């Protein structure tokens, strides 16, 4: 059962039973509890259900209908489970650039995680990533060749970084590299306030085409760490809410601009 079918089945079970438990769903679908929690988080964002510790319920279910569980139940970081409609459109547009036979490098981030949700529906592609939540999603499609870079875990983003990660990318040649952005402007490029950004430059150097996937709220922000200069960016996919000033500045660069 693919990701799309499994999530539809989860919605059916919630509607039929009123509530479902993560452990039960994990056993029924023969996938990890991490995968089920990711499913429930995305379904909650779409308004299909309401999550509680260890499970989920119908949105109109009363608290009495929900099963009480210990309050220390661990869940994936919400950053990866939430995405607005613009991010979803951006991910869909990005997936449209990927052709059968392509090798794709996927950087960390919430929008690239959503892109993984789109790519898992495909087949006959190779995906190289340091993004652990994305790797969990992509691992469910046996027709995708998945390469997960090793390295040191950065807990905030659930991604791998460091010398081991960089070494894993030596000799790699990819058709596309997808990267998110904490901040982006036409004069500088992608910047961040976070550590662990050097891997993005190595990924970009291995790809024939570098594609930035970011929502319009990131334009105008500027961190003190330069991730990728604007000259290294081939395509930018963002939403139509981008401010006119930022839009006009980007049109003066060599990067292709896709508005969704």
| Nearest CA among 171, 35, 181, 45 for reference residue 107 | 181
CA dist 7 → 28, 44, 176, 247 (Å): 13, 11, 28, 37
The reply to whether 43 and 156 lie within a common domain is no
Q: How confident is the model at residue 59 (pLDDT cuts 50, 70, 90)?
A: confident
Number of domains in the chain: 2
In a domain, 91, yes or no: yes
* CATH assignment of the domain containing 10: 1.10.10.10
Q: In what helix (H) or strand (E) does residue 195 lie, and over which residues does it extend?
A: none
| Predicted confidence (pLDDT) per residue in 190-236, tens digit | 998 877 789 999 999 999 999 999 999 999 888 889 999 999 999 99
| Domain assignment of residue 137, yes or no | yes
Decide if 222 is inside a domain: yes
- 38 and 96 assigned to the same domain: no
Residue 119 sits in the same domain as residue 180: yes
Is there a single domain that holds both residue 118 and residue 166?
Answer: yes
Domain end marker among 39, 58, 77: 58
Residue 174's φ and ψ, nearest 5 degrees, are -120, 155
- The model's confidence at residue 81, banded by pLDDT at 50, 70 and 90, is very low
Residue 95 lies in a domain: yes
**What is the span of the domain harbouring residue 118?**
86-259
CATH code: domain of residue 117: 3.40.50.1360
Residues 6+ apart with CB under 8 A from 238: 86, 90, 212, 213, 214, 215, 216, 219, 257, 258, 259, 260
108 and 212 both lie in a single domain? yes
In a domain, 69, yes or no: no
> What mean pLDDT is reported for the chain?
87
């Amino acid at each position: 059962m693919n990701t799309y079918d499994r999530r539809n089945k989860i919605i059916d079970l919630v509607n039929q039973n009123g509530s479902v438990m993560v452990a039960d769903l994990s056993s029924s679908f023969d996938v990890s509890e991490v995968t089920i929690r990711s499913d429930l988080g995305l379904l909650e964002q779409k308004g299909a259900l309401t999550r509680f510790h260890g499970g989920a319920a119908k949105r109109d279910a009363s608290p009495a209908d929900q099963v009480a569980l210990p309050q220390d139940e661990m869940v994936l970081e919400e950053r990866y489970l939430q995405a607005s409609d613009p991010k979803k459109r951006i991910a869909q547009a990005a997936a449209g650039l990927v052709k059968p036979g392509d090798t794709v490098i996927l950087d960390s981030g919430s929008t690239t995680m959503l892109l993984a949700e789109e790519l898992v529906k495909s087949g006959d592609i190779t995906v190289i990533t340091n993004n652990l939540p994305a790797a969990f999603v992509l691992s469910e499609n046996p027709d995708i060749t998945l390469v997960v870079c090793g390295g040191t875990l950065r807990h905030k983003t659930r991604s791998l970084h460091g010398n081991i990660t960089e070494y894993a990318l030596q000799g790699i040649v990819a058709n596309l590299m997808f990267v998110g952005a904490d901040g982006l402007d036409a004069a500088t490029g992608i910047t961040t306030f976070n550590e662990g950004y050097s891997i993005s430059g190595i990924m970009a150097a291995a790809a024939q085409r570098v594609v930035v996937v970011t929502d319009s709220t990131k334009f105008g922000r500027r961190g003190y760490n330069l991730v990728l200069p604007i000259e290294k960016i081939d395509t930018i996919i963002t939403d139509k809410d981008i401010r006119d000033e930022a839009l006009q500045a980007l049109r003066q660069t060599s990067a292709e601009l896709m508005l969704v």
